[in-house]
Amino acid sequence: MADLLTHVLAAYVLLTVAGWWVGWLEPRWVAVGMGGAAIPDLVKVERLVDEGVVQSALGVPFEYDPVSSLAGVLVIAGVLTLFFGHARRRVYALLVTGGLSSLVLDGLRVYVDGSSSFWLYPLWWRPPTPSLYVTADARVVVVAMAVSIGVFVVDRYAVAS
């Protein structure tokens, strides 16, 4: 869960700071981008529903792995955009931006073999990772929370006034 929280907070920071210069990027749109940051983490549904169950329900081969990739973000953001009645291009762009920020953060994690996950699907190439942090490290979420609180305070009291 700390990984998901970190992704959502990073999207909040990114989009809130961008909103200081982009007039239409109001808090309601920032929330849409924060939701997009959760898209790659939908792969964790596998813990609740096995791939075999989904495969038999759909009648086609199914795997969860591509959900946490660039193609997965693009497709799921497209499906989610259909639920919005207006400003669909804006919603899609914000969902993809949130998802991409999540994928970039995942690309910076420590992997045993020195290569990140295959987030460039359908390309099965795994780019090298700088191995900056471990997902289970509590310091990562603490830093994310501190930065987001700082951005919130600046946004609320310095920028809004």
Task: Transcribe the chain into DSSP letters.
Answer: -HHHHHHHHHHHHHHHHHHTT-TT--HHHHHHHHHHTTGGGGGGGGGTS-HHHHHHHHTS---SGGGGSHHHHHHHHHHHHTT-SS-HHHHHHHHHHHHHHHHHHHHTB--TTSB---TTTTS----B----B-TT-HHHHHHHHHHHHHHHHIIIIII--
* Number of domains the chain contains: 1
- Is the entire prediction scored with pTM above 0.85? yes
> Quick check: is 43 in a domain?
yes
Q: Which two tokens stand for residue 102?
A: 């999540």
Half-sphere exposure of 80 (CA within 13 A, CB side): 22
Question: 148-159 pLDDT, tens per residue?
Answer: 999 999 999 887
Residue-averaged pLDDT of the chain: 89
Q: Which two tokens stand for residue 135?
A: 């997902």
Question: How far, in Å, CA of 158 to CA of 160, rounded?
Answer: 6
pLDDT above 90 covers a percentage of the chain that reads 51
Q: What pLDDT, on a 0 to 100 scale, did the predictor assign at position 160?
A: 66
> Quick check: is 158 in a domain?
no
| Averaged pLDDT for residues 62-89 | 90
Question: 78-129 pLDDT, tens per residue?
Answer: 999 999 988 999 999 999 999 999 999 988 888 888 888 777 777 777 888 8
146: nearest Cα among 18, 10, 17: 10
> Quick check: is 101 in a domain?
yes
> Quick check: is 160 in a domain?
no
Q: What pLDDT, on a 0 to 100 scale, did the predictor assign at position 153?
A: 95
> Quick check: is 29 in a domain?
yes
> Quick check: is 51 in a domain?
yes
Confirm if 135 and 2 have CB atoms less than 8 A apart.
yes
Domain ranges, residue 87 = 2-150
Question: How far, in Å, CA of 135 to CA of 93, rounded?
Answer: 27
Q: How confident is the model at residue 133 (pLDDT cuts 50, 70, 90)?
A: confident
Distance from chain centroid for Cα 53: 26
> Quick check: is 117 in a domain?
yes
> Quick check: is 155 in a domain?
no
